[in-house]
């Protein structure tokens, strides 16, 4: 690959050899780990940092998600962190100096029952009070935004309206990872692949380092970013997390002419669809029910996604499936993430983003870096502490997060 | 798709079953006596191992009975199937 042909350098970062010790070791080189490393360096001047990845960089859920970005969650706590992320997305290509194909094409969340309508209207009001752009659209307006949605009244689940967030959209997930990786490496962060963390050393209640397949590494602080494997890694320090790991699948069609200008999600019919820049229809829905660490799921789940998509978009009847795949997502009881302290000094946790953490990548990187640098939660991530399951201060986002990602 | 051997009906496709999560989670004997931490453990924390996991399934499109399975979450291999009330088999 020459620089001139694709206007792209041959290497975005240099592979690093593990040093004996770091100020901060980040476990997991997905989007969140890379963004955290970047903001540790940029916002806090902490650059003696390693990101340890058991496979290849951003080969986990970062490589597998369907890239929906939005901030139209119900509760103030969620609006705070997701809207912070969306604002960062809006300046991220300039900040990283890297193209991300960030496209604010809007998202429609369809309502198919009176209860859906009430929930949707309530969410629009809540969003507006939090400064999140949101509108309530009737079926005809839905059709104007996305002409291929079937809004006729005589279908099994008629579209009664939709919430609309114009600033929502999609981005190219790999570019986002590479952009953060390149920028973090430029600050001197070591990105170390094929390096699985197999143990956490804790002495007198304080983390002192990690054991890895490439040898032991001492660390002042350790920040977990292991997504679907968070329970496994946290258990190495005796920390229990209220997570269940499930496969989440998605699929794409072959390349088609541009037909779908926005992102459409439906909790009730249970599918979401957008069209990638290249032309594939990208769709997904809910998790496979049984717990599993296999990055694959059952085909009947894919069949249901497709029949749901056909219900909303009869025009897709002759589209072909090109590819299906799965990732392992870490699901919490309240469909909100866990970001913060663990009870072990110097050990921090970021997990539980489940089916919807791609959109949060810059926002969580920002808040988690602050948490690690200061040893206390950033105000925007403070509500997402592990101890909310004891205090009872849950942030229940099942309504905004159900099929939604 | 998993092929799940119902202890009453024999092997059937996963699509006939409903998942019930971790098995052998007993309701606390005296809920009012629990501390907030203990109550949180009971309500919100379930095991999430990468490896053998004892879990509940219901044959909802068949005999409609609940039963337990030990399945390896790293491979999806089913090691044992047993009826409600029976102890978790020891997996070698
Ligand atoms: C099919 C699918 C569709 C999705 N769609 C959307 C969407 O449209 N919008 C949205 O916002 N979100 C979506 N998500 C969710 C989103 O992908 C995740 O929430 C997010 O990527 C999680 O953060 P991450 O990028 O850091 O995770 P990952 O990329 O999974 O990073 C975690 C990393 O930790 C590594 N790791 C694990 N254990 C160890 C260890 N012991 N040692 C070293 N490294 C380790 C893993 O190999 C992995 O690379 C989707 C997810 C899936 C699977
Ligand atoms: Zn049966």
This model of the complex carries an ipTM of 0.97
B92 pLDDT tier (thresholds 50, 70, 90): low
Q: Would the CB of A355 count as within 6 Å of ligand 1?
A: yes
Chain B contact for A361, CB < 8 A?
no
Give me ligand 2 centre to Cα B67, in Å. 9
Polymer length of chain B: 92
Q: What six digits make up the tokens of A85?
A: 């992320």
Our CA angle for A102, A106, A107, nearest 5°, is 120
Contact A391 B36 (CB under 8 A): yes
The secondary structure of residue A354, as a DSSP letter, is: T
Q: Please tell me the number of the ligand nearest to residue B9's CA.
A: 2
Considering only CA atoms, which residue is closest to atom 13 of ligand 1?
Answer: A356
Nearest chain A residue (CA) to B54: A291
Q: Give B1→chain A minimum CA distance, Å.
A: 4
Give me ligand 1 centre to Cα A292, in Å. 15
pTM above 0.90, yes or no: yes
| pLDDT beneath 50, residues of chain A | 1-5
Select from A243, A300, A390 the Cβ nearest to the Cβ of B40.
A390
Closest to A133 measured CA to CA, from A177, A185, A169, A157: A169
Mutate to test the pocket of ligand 1, among A173, A358, A367, A401 (most ligand atoms within 8 A of CB): A358
Q: Would the CB of A169 count as within 6 Å of ligand 1?
A: no
pLDDT of amino acid A281: 97
pLDDT of amino acid A403: 64
Cα torsion for B11, B14, B15, B21, to the nearest 10°? 130
Chain B residues close to A333, C-beta within 8 Å: 43-44
Distance in angstroms (rounded) separating the CA atoms of residues A342 and A171: 32
Q: Would the CB of A246 count as within 6 Å of ligand 1?
A: no
Q: Please tell me the number of the ligand nearest to residue B67's CA.
A: 2
Surrounding residues of ion ligand 2, Cβ less than 5 A: B 6, 8-9, 59, 62-63
pLDDT of amino acid A257: 96
Select from B43, B45, B76 the Cβ nearest to the Cβ of A294.
B76
How many CB contacts within 8 angstroms connect chain A with chain B? 62
Mutate to test the pocket of ligand 1, among A37, A59, A61 (most ligand atoms within 8 A of CB): A61
Contact A291 B2 (CB under 8 A): no
Considering only CA atoms, which residue is closest to atom 12 of ligand 1?
Answer: A356
Q: Give A120→chain B minimum CA distance, Å.
A: 28
pLDDT of amino acid A119: 96
Closest to A373 measured CA to CA, from A41, A52, A21: A41
Chain B contact for A231, CB < 8 A?
yes
pLDDT of amino acid A404: 55
Is pLDDT above 60 for B82?
yes
Q: Are A261 and A145 in contact (CB under 8 A)?
A: yes
B67 to A161, A199, B2: CA distances (angstroms)? 42, 35, 16
Task: Please report the DSSP string for B22-73 in residue order.
Answer: ES--PPPSSGGG--HHHHHHHHH-----SSEEEEEEE-TTTT--EEEEEEET
Q: Would the CB of A30 count as within 6 Å of ligand 1?
A: yes
- Summarize pLDDT for B3-25 with one digit per residue, the tens: 999 999 999 999 999 999 999 99
pLDDT of amino acid A3: 44
DSSP SS3 for A64: helix
Q: Would the CB of A340 count as within 6 Å of ligand 1?
A: no
Q: What six digits make up the tokens of A29?
A: 């080189």
Chain A contact for B27, CB < 8 A?
no
Considering only CA atoms, which residue is closest to atom 33 of ligand 1?
Answer: A28
């Amino acid at each position: 690959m020459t620089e001139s042909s694709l206007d792209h350098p041959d290497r975005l970062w240099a592979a690093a050899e593990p040093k004996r010790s770091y100020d901060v070791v980040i476990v997991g080189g997905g989007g969140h780990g890379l963004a955290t490393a970047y903001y540790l360096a940029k916002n806090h001047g902490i650059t003696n940092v390693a990101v340890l990845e058991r496979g290849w960089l951003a080969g986990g859920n970062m490589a597998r998600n369907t890239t929906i970005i939005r901030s139209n969650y119900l509760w103030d706590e969620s609006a705070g962190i997701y809207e912070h992320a969306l604002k960062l997305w809006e300046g991220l290509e300039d900040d990283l100096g890297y193209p991300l194909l960030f496209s604010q094409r809007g998202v429609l969340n369809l309502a198919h029952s009176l209860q859906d309508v009430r929930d949707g209207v309530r969410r629009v009001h809540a969003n507006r009070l939090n400064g999140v752009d949101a509108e309530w659209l009737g079926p005809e307006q839905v059709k104007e935004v996305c002409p291929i949605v079937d809004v006729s009244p005589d279908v099994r689940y008629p579209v009664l309206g939709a919430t609309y967030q114009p600033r929502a959209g999609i981005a190219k997930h790999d570019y986002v990872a590479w952009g953060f990786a390149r920028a973090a490496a430029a600050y001197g962060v070591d990105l170390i692949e094929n390096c699985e963390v197999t143990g956490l050393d804790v002495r007198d209640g304080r983390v002192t380092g990690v054991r890895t397949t490439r040898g032991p590494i001492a660390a002042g602080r350790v920040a977990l970013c292991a997504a679907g494997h968070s329970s496994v890694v946290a258990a190495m320090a005796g920390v229990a997390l209220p997570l269940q790991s499930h496969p989440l699948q998605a699929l794409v069609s072959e390349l088609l002419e541009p037909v779908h200008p926005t992102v459409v999600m439906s909790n009730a019919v249970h599918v979401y669809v957008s069209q990638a820049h290249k032309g594939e229809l990208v769709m997904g829905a809910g998790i496979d029910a049984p717990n599993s660490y296999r990055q694959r799921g059952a085909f009947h789940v894919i069949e249901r996604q497709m029949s749901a998509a056909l219900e909303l978009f009869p025009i897709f009847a002759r589209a072909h499936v090109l590819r299906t795949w799965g990732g392992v997502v870490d699901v919490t009881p309240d469909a909100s993430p866990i970001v913060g302290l663990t009870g072990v000094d110097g050990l921090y946790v970021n997990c539980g983003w489940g089916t919807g953490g791609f959109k949060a990548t810059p926002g969580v990187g920002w808040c988690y870096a602050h948490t690690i640098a200061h040893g206390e939660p950033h105000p925007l991530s403070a509500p997402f502490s592990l101890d909310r399951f004891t205090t009872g201060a849950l942030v229940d986002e099942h309504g905004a997060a159900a099929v939604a990602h | 798709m998993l092929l799940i051997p119902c202890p009453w009906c024999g092997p059937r496709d996963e699509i006939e079953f409903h998942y019930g999560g971790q098995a052998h989670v007993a309701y606390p004997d005296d809920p009012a006596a629990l501390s907030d931490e203990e109550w949180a453990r009971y309500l919100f924390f379930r095991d999430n191992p990468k490896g053998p996991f004892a879990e509940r399934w219901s044959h909802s499109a068949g005999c409609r009975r609940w039963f337990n399975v030990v399945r390896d979450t790293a491979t999806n291999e089913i090691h044992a199937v047993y009826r409600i009330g029976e102890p978790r088999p020891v997996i070698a």
